[in-house]
Amino acid sequence: MRISLAAFVSCLALPAAAETPVLTVLTYDSFISEWGPGPAVEKAFEASCSCDVRFVAGGDGAALLARLQLEGPASEADVVLGLDTNLTAAAAATGLFAPHGQPAATALPLPYDDPLFLPYDWGWFAFVFDRTKLPEPPKSFADLAASDLKIVIQDPRSSTPGLGLLMWVKAAHGDAAAGVWAGLADNILTVTPGWSEAYGLFLEGEADMVLSYTTSPAYHRIAEGDDTKDWALFSEGHYLQIELAGVLAASDQPDLAKSFLAFTQTPEFQAVIPTTNWMYPAAEIPLPEGFETSRPETSLLLGAEEAQAARDPALAEWQAALAQ
Amino acid sequence: MASGARAIGAVAVLLVAAPLAAVAFRAGGLSLSPADWAALRFTLWQAALSALISVALAVPVARALARRRFPGRSALITLMGAPFLLPVIVAVMGLLALFGRGGAVNAALSALGLPALSIYGLQGVLIAHVFLNLPLATRMILQGWLAIPAERFRLAESLSFTPAQTFRHLERPMLAEVLPGALATVFALCLTSFAVALILGGGPRATTLELAIYQAVRFDFDLAHAAGLALVQVLVGGAAALAAWAAARQAGFGAGLDREIPLTAPAGWRLGADALALGLAALFLLAPMAAVVIKGAPGLMDLPAQVWPALARSVLVALASVLLTLGAALGLALGAARGLRWLDIAAALPLATSGLVLGTGLFLLVHPLAPPTSLALPVTVMVNALLALPFAFRLLAPEALALKADYGRLADSLDLRGPARLRLLILPRLARPLGFAAGLVAALSMGDLGVIALFAGEQQATLPLVIQRLTAAYRMEAAAGASLLLVTASLALFWIMDRRGRHAAA
């Protein structure tokens, strides 16, 4: 027993003794799974950095920010990967982030340049449907409200896409947003805590459409060889979700952290994104075959301050409309 | 013995209170908002209705199981327990295959030209909560029936009691002892409902306290609000436990001789009623389970490699939780039997704890001491043990009390104490509830997502967490397969332990 305990303790001590610098990346759950971008990204960066990349997972984007706020400057994380534009104002206000010093990402449909947060992928929110069951999808929120289609959405109080939809309606319709929600109320079959429950309900045939991304049909086409899923083009334009990385000010590996952020813009990192994270790459690289069939003409995005200011009133409108 | 029980009770209270206090301390206070009252009202209303319906339906089912003997009865009892062991989202998907827009019930209705039923709304929340909790309520009440010594039924028979008289003199006192605890347990479980209430409740009308806590922690980072809400939740659960404790009456049947006595169950319409109760319950509980199996089977062939180490971790965590919980629950139950009734409340408190606040508080407590990822599995074991403690205690407490009443004086007069008393009297007499409790704790621990999501890094994921990661990456088929694996493993653990308990008792 004593011998095995000693062996156990020496195992624990090994990484420290080897003196390879460790870069700790805090990210969301699905990033680090074997089918996510994590393993390939880790391997590619370790090949050039002579360091050890360690991922720590913490739920989704909002959970990451909550976790950083819990840990404060004592966090072991050097880099955070997975915040989005609806969270940046709150994230910047924590004072936990340091400037990343990288040039802006080049392949976004709207210019985005922030000293603290660097995009590594992005996508458009859209309602996804099954072409074989719905030959004529609605062409706008008004169209959708007038139809008797049933949709599943995510709760903006617990999910990032849910919050994205709130911002989408706000960005597209401003003061008329409450009216849009009132019109949609009878189309909303139900509201789920997160993206995966909503998408699961849609795949089970419970709803005609689900709030997801324009890139969701690409998963079915490329990974499953199933071309029946599509997304509905809305005339208002489509709201963007931009996923962001940042360097923590309290990092003990600031240079390594910055070089990791530079690495996120390289083809090695970016080429992994489309078919593991199923989002658009943030740098100009060729898209995989079948990834994109068409794209929206208009992209919508509220600025960081605007999004934060809009959130509480928009949430109140949403709750009032749906609680009827 | 009594001081040990006091210490265990104090630790249980501390484990509920310390994380909550850590969150409140970090936030510098507690707060509530006017919108919370609406959430509290809905939470109480759905939890009360869910508890009443689950327990009311469980009584005829448990009675039929207790007094009828038929081939496959034992397998039916085990299988009917399965819904309670399902991860919530898997249960919801199984129910939707039956009651959803495209489910079997609506397909049958439309074939008959009848209007469709919608599961989305309060009715959906209740159906799901009854589906998840009817098995537990049935088993708790069935334990009560089986705890009535067979000699009492034999005596009733020889006195030519009518079924109504048997009910008045034997079954009603037993129910008066068992039902308050069953009601309080299901009520407290439904208090912390979050995903079921939201998905089937149909939107923000169905906002529960746990969802408000989630929002406060995740999106507002308003820890004072989260702590305030969590405190309300624990207080309501504690009040329910207190009410149950005050309402429960000890039946006091006295000891029996543990003989298997063939009894004649009432015939006539009562036989038909029992068959109907069992048939309907089996259909309601097993049809969605069948949907889970059918959906999961294709994915089983093609499971990702991460699933297997995650399964091993889940099983190890479950076994460690079983040891911890049973030790604590037995200590508490024996202490409560010796008159330390506050232990009843201490053992019930974890039931109403908010998982997210518990995890957040532990994270705050652990973080200054060690990197949370290095403690992911020990913390998970501890939390799973804590959350399962109320169930184990509820199963052991009545029998520990009966044990004390029936054998306490004899054992005392023989000076049977300490380990010898445990080995010769307590463990053999309590083998049945101990085995059942062990199976329940193992299965609960297997299915619990709980705090692991807050603590896990790459190498510590348990099976429920891997399933969550699969669904977050479009891998619904693999997730369904992994869910089926999880359910099978949970049920197997439950079956092995429950069976060991029953065999040791026989």
Eight-state DSSP code of residue A58: -
A129 and A158 inside one domain: yes
Say whether A323 and B221 touch across the interface (CB within 8 A).
no
Structure tokens of A54? 């360690």
Sort out which chain A residues have CB atoms less than 8 A from B217's CB and list them: 66
Residues ≥6 apart with Cβ < 8 Å to A8 = none
CB A289 within 8 A of CB A225: no
In three-state form (DSSP H/G/I as H, E/B as E, the rest C), the secondary structure along A181-243 is HHHHHHHEEEEECCHHHHHHHHHCCCCCEEEEECCHHHHHHHHHCCCCEEEECCCCCEEEEEE
Q: What are phi and psi of B114, to 5 degrees?
A: -100, 155
Q: Look up the ipTM and state it.
A: 0.84
Say whether A196 and B468 touch across the interface (CB within 8 A).
yes
Q: A204 at the B interface (CB within 8 A)?
A: yes
Query: Cα distance from B483 to chain A (closest Cα, Å)?
Result: 14
Residue B394 confidence (pLDDT): 84
Query: Cα distance from B360 to chain A (closest Cα, Å)?
Result: 8
CA A181 and chain centroid, separation: 24
Sort out which chain A residues have CB atoms less than 8 A from B368's CB and list them: 74
Eight-state DSSP code of residue A124: E
Sort out which chain B residues have CB atoms less than 8 A from A163's CB and list them: 219
Sort out which chain B residues have CB atoms less than 8 A from A36's CB and list them: 469, 473
Say whether A36 and B466 touch across the interface (CB within 8 A).
no
Query: Cα distance from B395 to chain A (closest Cα, Å)?
Result: 33
Say whether B456 and A69 touch across the interface (CB within 8 A).
no
The answer to whether position A304 is within a domain reads yes
A190 and A310 inside one domain: yes
Q: A312 at the B interface (CB within 8 A)?
A: no
State the best of B105, B199, B209 to mutate against chain A, taking most chain A CBs within 10 Å.
B199
A30 and A179 inside one domain: no
Query: Cα distance from A25 to chain B (closest Cα, Å)?
Result: 10
Query: Cα distance from A217 to chain B (closest Cα, Å)?
Result: 11
Partner residue facing B202 (CB), from A190, A207, A278 = A190
Partner residue facing A206 (CB), from B102, B201, B363 = B102
Query: Cα distance from B207 to chain A (closest Cα, Å)?
Result: 10
State the best of B198, B207, B357, B483 to mutate against chain A, taking most chain A CBs within 10 Å.
B198
Say whether B202 and A90 touch across the interface (CB within 8 A).
no
Instruction: For residue B121, give the chain A residue with the closest CA.
Output: A190
Partner residue facing B306 (CB), from A34, A67, A163 = A34
Superfamily of domain B2-24+39-254+261-505: MetI-like (1.10.3720.10)
The answer to whether position A287 is within a domain reads no
Residue B169 confidence (pLDDT): 85
Say whether B219 and A62 touch across the interface (CB within 8 A).
yes
Sort out which chain A residues have CB atoms less than 8 A from B203's CB and list them: 188, 190-191, 322-323
Residue A30 confidence (pLDDT): 82
pTM of the complete model? 0.87
A309 and A182 inside one domain: yes
Please state the domain count of chain A: 2
d(CA B430, CA B58): 23
A255 and A305 inside one domain: no
A177 and A227 inside one domain: yes
Q: A268 at the B interface (CB within 8 A)?
A: no
Instruction: For residue A199, give the chain B residue with the closest CA.
Output: B474
Q: A52 at the B interface (CB within 8 A)?
A: no
Residue A214 confidence (pLDDT): 96
Say whether B466 and A201 touch across the interface (CB within 8 A).
no
Partner residue facing B367 (CB), from A66, A71, A158 = A71
A130 and A166 inside one domain: yes
Q: Does residue B361 sit in helix, strand or coil?
A: helix
d(CA B194, CA B233): 13
Say whether B364 and A70 touch across the interface (CB within 8 A).
yes
Sort out which chain A residues have CB atoms less than 8 A from B226's CB and list them: none
Q: Are strands A22-27 and A52-57 parallel, antiparallel or unpaired?
A: parallel
A230 and A246 inside one domain: no
Q: What is the CATH number of the domain that holds A195?
A: 3.40.190.10
d(CA A306, CA A303): 5
Say whether A197 and B89 touch across the interface (CB within 8 A).
yes
Instruction: For residue A206, give the chain B residue with the closest CA.
Output: B101
Say whether B367 and A322 touch across the interface (CB within 8 A).
no
Partner residue facing B203 (CB), from A65, A197, A322 = A322
A13 and A150 inside one domain: no
The answer to whether position A286 is within a domain reads no
User: In which domain, by residue range, is A310 found?
Assistant: 124-239+294-322
The torsion of the CA quartet A122, A52, A254, B461, rounded to 10 degrees, works out to: 60
Partner residue facing B204 (CB), from A35, A56, A323 = A323
Instruction: For residue B465, give the chain A residue with the closest CA.
Output: A29
A97 and A231 inside one domain: no
The answer to whether position A85 is within a domain reads yes
pLDDT digits (tens, 9 = 90+) for B317-360: 999 999 999 999 999 998 888 888 788 888 888 877 877 788 88
Say whether A223 and B97 touch across the interface (CB within 8 A).
no
Say whether A193 and B198 touch across the interface (CB within 8 A).
yes
Q: Does residue A152 sit in helix, strand or coil?
A: strand
- Closest Cα partner for B102 from A205, A18, A16, A43? A205
A302 and A193 inside one domain: yes
Structure tokens of B257? 């001789």
List chain A pLDDT tens, one digit each, 324 residues.
344 444 444 444 444 445 789 999 999 888 888 888 999 999 999 998 889 999 988 777 778 888 888 888 888 899 999 999 988 999 999 999 999 999 998 899 999 999 999 999 999 999 999 999 999 999 999 999 999 999 999 999 888 899 999 999 999 999 999 999 999 999 999 999 889 899 999 998 999 999 999 999 999 999 999 999 999 999 999 999 999 999 999 999 999 999 999 999 999 999 999 999 999 999 999 999 999 989 999 999 999 999 999 999 999 999 888 876
Q: Spell out a b/e string for A278-313, using b for 16 or more CB atoms within 10 Å of the CB, else e.
A: bbbbbbebeeeeebeeeebeebbbbebeebbebbee
Say whether A58 and B215 touch across the interface (CB within 8 A).
no
A167 and A205 inside one domain: yes
d(CA B58, CA B140): 9
Say whether A190 and B96 touch across the interface (CB within 8 A).
no
State the best of A32, A35, A150 to mutate against chain B, taking most chain B CBs within 10 Å.
A35
Which segments in chain B show pLDDT lower than 50?
A: none
Q: B161: buried, middle or exposed (CB in 10 Å: 19+, 13-18, 0-12)?
A: middle
State the best of B469, B470, B475 to mutate against chain A, taking most chain A CBs within 10 Å.
B469
Sort out which chain B residues have CB atoms less than 8 A from A203's CB and list them: 476
Give A 55-74 residues with CB within 8 A of chain B.
Answer: 55-60, 62-63, 65-67, 69-71, 74
Residue B374 confidence (pLDDT): 78
Q: Does residue A150 sit in helix, strand or coil?
A: coil
Say whether B474 and A278 touch across the interface (CB within 8 A).
yes
Say whether B205 and A200 touch across the interface (CB within 8 A).
no
